[in-house]
Amino acid sequence: MTITLEKTLFDELEQIVLIDPHTHINPHAAASTTLADIMGYHYYTELAHSAGLEKAKIEEERLDPKTKVGRLVEKLCDLDNTIQVNWLIEMCREFFGFTDDRITTDNWEALYDSASQKMSEENWSQQVLDKSKLEKVFLTNDFDDKLEGFDTNVYVPCLRTDDLVFHFLKKSVRNRLNAASGIDVGDATTFREAIGKLFAHFVGKGAKACAISIPPHFSPTKVDAGSAAAVIKRTVKGQRLTTVEQEMLSSFVFWTITEYCSEHSLPFDLMIGVNRRVYEGGVYQGQDLFDKRVSLIQYKQLLNAFPNVTFPISVLGSTSNQELVSYSWIFPNVVTNGHWWYSNIPTYIETDTRSRLEAVPRTKQIGYYSDMYKLEFALPKFRMYRRVLAKVLATDFVTGRNWTEEQALALGKQILRGNVETIFKVSSQ
C-alpha cells in the first residue's frame, strides 16, 4: 500500500511547475548543443577520471565533442551504479528518445547523433523548459555580469560574491570591481560605494538573491572600522597581507555585502563547507572536497547581527544537516536550502528530508535546487528529489501520522515550489 501511495504522490509532485532557485546556467547558452555539453558536466568527467580515465584524454586541447563523448562512454560501465549516470540515462530517454538502459560503446554514436539533431532545433531550450516544467531558473552571476541579452523574468539574476570575499587580494578582481562599479576603489569608503553600485545594478535587473560558497574554516566576524580601513588600503596598494589580515579582509567584504542584502531585502544563500583545489591533478571542477569539521556556530555572530536578512543555508556534508535543522528551528532568519553537491544523493537526501520535515517550520524549507550548468539536468535531478520526497511524505506523514494525501501533497508543493516564491519574493508568471 505504501508503494502505491508513494507512486501516487510522486506522480502528483511531478505535475508541479518549478522555480529552480540555484543553478549555474549561462542564459546565453542555457541548453546543450551536443552530448558533450551534458557528459562534460564535472560529475561525469571526474567520475570517469576517478575510475581511471586520464585527465589528458578528457581535457586535451581542441578535442572535438564527439571524440570526447566516445572516450567518456568507455568508462560508463564502471560508473553505471552511480546516481549521476542514472540522471544521464534519464535525460537521454526523456529528451533524445533513447530506449536502452545503458549507454555503451555499441549504441552511443546513434545516441550522440540523434541528440545533436534534437538539440539543434530552434526552440530547444524552450522545449527543455517546457518538458521539465521549469518556469524560472535562478542564475549565479559574476559580480561584473552586465545581465543583458536575456529574459530576467525566466533567468533570474543572482549575485555571486565568492570572488569579492575570497579573492579581493587579486588585482584582476579589484580591476573588475572598479570597471563594473565605475568607482576607483581606494579605501573602505569607496569600496563600500562600489559594492553599493553592484547591488543597485543587480537589484535593478531583478536579482532575487546573493550567493556564496564558503570554505569550512571561515567564520565571518564584524571588523571594526579602523582595521577595515587599514586592511583595504593595504590591499588596494597591492601590499602583502598576513593570514590574520586576509581573514579580516574577507570578513569585512562579507559583512559589507550582508549589509547591502539587508538594505535591499535580498536573501543571502550561504553554501558552507567546500575546500577548493584539494585534488590538484583533478579535472576541471573536479578538484574540490571538504573537511567535515565545520560548525554553524561559526556563524553565530552573523546570524545575530542580521535578523532582517534571510540566510538560505546549504551544507556540503551530511554530518552538518542536524545543525542546519536545529539552527533553522531556532533562528528566524535561517532557512534550509536543498541538498548540495556531495550530499545530493538519495541516501543523504532522504535522512535530511525526513529530519527537516520533522523539526523545521514548513515555511522555512527550500526543498531542492538543481545546481545545474545545462538545462537538461533539472528534470532528472528534481525527479530524484521528488522520489525521495514522495517516499517520506507517504511513510512518515500519510502512513505514520494519518495525514490525508491532500495534506501531504500540499506540504510537498510548499517545499518544492511555494517557499521559493515566498522566500525569494518571486511572483508566478
Which parts of 82-101 interact with a copy of itself (CB under 8 A)?
82-84, 86, 101
Closest alpha carbon to 132 in 267, 44, 25: 25
- Contacts (CB under 8 A) with a copy of itself, residues 281-320: 281-282, 286-293, 295-297, 300, 303-304, 307, 317-320
User: DSSP for 407-426?
Assistant: HHHHHHHIIIIIHHHHHHT-
Q: How many amino acids of this chain bind a copy of itself (CB under 8 A)?
A: 74
Instruction: Using alpha carbons, list the distances in angstroms from residue 225 to 220, 256, 382.
Output: 15, 11, 45
Residue 364 sits in the site that holds a copy of itself (CB under 8 A): yes
Q: In what order do the strands lie in the sheet with 209-214?
A: 158-160, 209-214, 268-272, 311-315, 334-337, 365-366
Residue 396 sits in the site that holds a copy of itself (CB under 8 A): yes
Q: Which of 7, 171, 362, 425 binds a copy of itself (CB under 8 A)?
A: 362
Q: Which of 323, 337, 379, 416 binds a copy of itself (CB under 8 A)?
A: 323
For residue 280, how many C-alpha atoms fall within 13 Å in the half-sphere facing its CB?
A: 0
The rounded distance, in Å, linking the Cα atoms of 275 and 287 is: 9
Shortest approach of a copy of itself to residue 294 CB, angstroms? 8
The answer to whether the beta carbons of residues 177 and 194 sit under 8 Å apart is yes
Instruction: Using alpha carbons, list the distances in angstroms from residue 236 to 187, 226, 244, 281, 381.
Output: 8, 16, 17, 32, 43
- Contacts (CB under 8 A) with a copy of itself, residues 11-50: 46-47, 49-50
Residue 343 sits in the site that holds a copy of itself (CB under 8 A): yes
- Contacts (CB under 8 A) with a copy of itself, residues 94-153: 101
Of 249 and 325, CB closest to a copy of itself? 325
Contacting range for a copy of itself; rule: CB under 8 A; set: 159-167, 178-186, 256-264, 278-286: 278-286
Of 118 and 300, CB closest to a copy of itself? 300
Residue 171 sits in the site that holds a copy of itself (CB under 8 A): no
- Contacts (CB under 8 A) with a copy of itself, residues 206-235: none
Of 100 and 135, CB closest to a copy of itself? 100
Q: Which of 326, 383, 413, 421 binds a copy of itself (CB under 8 A)?
A: 326
Of 177 and 360, CB closest to a copy of itself? 360
Shortest approach of a copy of itself to residue 423 CB, angstroms? 12
User: DSSP for 278-340?
Assistant: SSTTSPTT---EE-S---GGGGHHHHHH-TTS-EEEEESSGGGHHHHHHHHHH-TTEEEE---
Cell of 225: 572600522
DSSP tag of 29: S
